[in-house]
Amino acid sequence: MSQPAFRFIHSADWHLERPLGGVGEVPEPLVDLFQKAPLRAARHVVDQAVERHVDFVVLSGDIIDPDRAGPEATIFLVEQFQRLAEQEIAVYWAGGRVDPPQRWPSAIRLPSNVHRFAWERTEEIVHQRDHAPIVRLIGSSVDLRQRAIGPEDFSFSVDRDDLFTIGVAYGRSDDFRNICPNEIAYWALGGDHIRSTPLTEQRVIHLPGTPQGRNPIESGPHGCTLVESDGQGHLRLHLLSTDVARWHHQRILVDANTSRDGLLGQLAETTERLLEQCESQSDMLICWTIAGEGPLLSKLRHTALRKSLKTELQDRFAARWPRPWCIWIEAEPARSLPDAWYKQDDLRGDFLRELMHFESGDTPLPDWSAEAPGEVALLKAAGLEHLLDHLSTERLLRRTAALGAELLSVEEPQP
């Protein structure tokens, strides 16, 4: 089956309204980076489209919430679209959760190379090069009430012209894995900030992730995807890095014999290794979790030691580029607390015994998403609902036990 060769960039989740976060304290020299990284990364996506002479750009949702981003970021986005217009690169944009087309401010005009998919139905566009059809795109946007067209509605009538067909939508891959029309060879999805290509037969489902990780959970390289077809039915996907700051989450083990300087050595060594592996110029945002056992771990629960380690580590790498920043050092909560604590007749004992009922499953944990709909709504409004998935019950209880025990201990806790 011979088709025209083509290439395009698939990107999603720019979230121009959302700075970097997820940390208690942002080091002073990084404040500017935390604010501007999402816009800089978005510009890199457009740079890539221009440099690589792509046929078009596909955006699968969550590009910008214009109300929260404000006029400056909205105009920035229009300028990026204009850069693409100058190169005659079309943009096909399916609105997601934060960017239903109806939310776009009517006072700001989008350049004519930008096509936004309708929300109440699927829309079909045939992309042409020199008046010859190259690719068919079928897409739809999420509407203001957050309703999206389901994959089952993507059925359409093709007059068997063998055109390569791309489905563009906002949504998780699970919805699209089972029910989707065979005619769609590439599903360009969005909504997950971590890049993925779930395995499926006969077709590709791809989520490019966000071009810029926002918090320690979104660690590792981020970018957009260059999709190339050779016209013989072979498709190649390449990650093009666009992030200007890259999160790293490292776990370090200590034991009863680890000294403070020993730990510092381990932190420095790991940083050195990360620097060696780093192929990009992005600032490195490193978060450390210290786990294991021994007296050093208990001492790490106190701010003073963590602070001094952080400062020394920071100074040691001050002259390096890309710059490795130590964002935080945390001690992992102890897996178990001393048995005796559970038996003591004091407040701490009462607290731990109470928690045990939850741990054993005797008392079901309250469904806190139902108990605290306000908090859940807030997380969702901040676009942090993915954090909900990471709050495993076991982890939550362990943290609760460790924190409660620490607060209720008269003497320094020595788990």
Contacts to Mn ion by CB under 5 A: 13, 62
**E strand or H helix that includes residue 298:** helix 295-300
The least CB distance from residue 153 to Mn ion, in Å, is 22
- Give backbone dihedrals phi and psi of 137, rounded to 5 degrees, phi first: -115, 135
Q: Output 83 or 172, the one with its CB closest to Mn ion.
A: 172
The least CB distance from residue 366 to Mn ion, in Å, is 28
Q: Output 62 or 218, the one with its CB closest to Mn ion.
A: 62
For 119, counting Cβ atoms within 10 Å of its Cβ (0-12 exposed, 13-18 middle, 19+ buried), the class is: buried
Q: Output 63 or 91, the one with its CB closest to Mn ion.
A: 63
Q: Are 318 and 20 in contact (CB under 8 A)?
A: no
Q: Euclidean distance between the first and final Cα of the chain, in Å? A: 67
SS3 at position 389: helix
**Residue 415: how many other CB atoms lie within 10 Å:** 18
- Write the CA distances from 403 to 160, 302, 334, integer angstroms: 63, 12, 10
The least CB distance from residue 165 to Mn ion, in Å, is 25
The least CB distance from residue 239 to Mn ion, in Å, is 18
Tokens representing 61 are 């949702």
Q: Output 62 or 406, the one with its CB closest to Mn ion.
A: 62
The least CB distance from residue 391 to Mn ion, in Å, is 19
What Rg, from alpha-carbon coordinates, does the chain have? 25
Strand partners for 136:
126, 165
Q: Are 1 and 163 in contact (CB under 8 A)?
A: no
**Closest CA relative to residue 113, chosen from 90, 137, 80, 136:** 90
- Give backbone dihedrals phi and psi of 313, rounded to 5 degrees, phi first: -65, -45
Q: Output 191 or 415, the one with its CB closest to Mn ion.
A: 191
Q: Are 251 and 328 in contact (CB under 8 A)?
A: no
In this structure, the strands spanning 235-241 and 245-254 are unpaired
Q: Output 216 or 324, the one with its CB closest to Mn ion.
A: 216
Q: Output 209 or 324, the one with its CB closest to Mn ion.
A: 209
- Write the CA distances from 23 to 214, 287, 333, 351, integer angstroms: 10, 9, 18, 29
The least CB distance from residue 371 to Mn ion, in Å, is 26
Strand partners for 236:
228
Give 392's Cβ-side CA count (13 Å radius).
Answer: 3
The least CB distance from residue 415 to Mn ion, in Å, is 39
Q: Output 13 or 332, the one with its CB closest to Mn ion.
A: 13
Q: Output 13 or 283, the one with its CB closest to Mn ion.
A: 13
The least CB distance from residue 193 to Mn ion, in Å, is 6
The residue sitting closest to Mn ion, measured at its beta carbon, is 62
SS3 at position 299: helix
The least CB distance from residue 97 to Mn ion, in Å, is 6
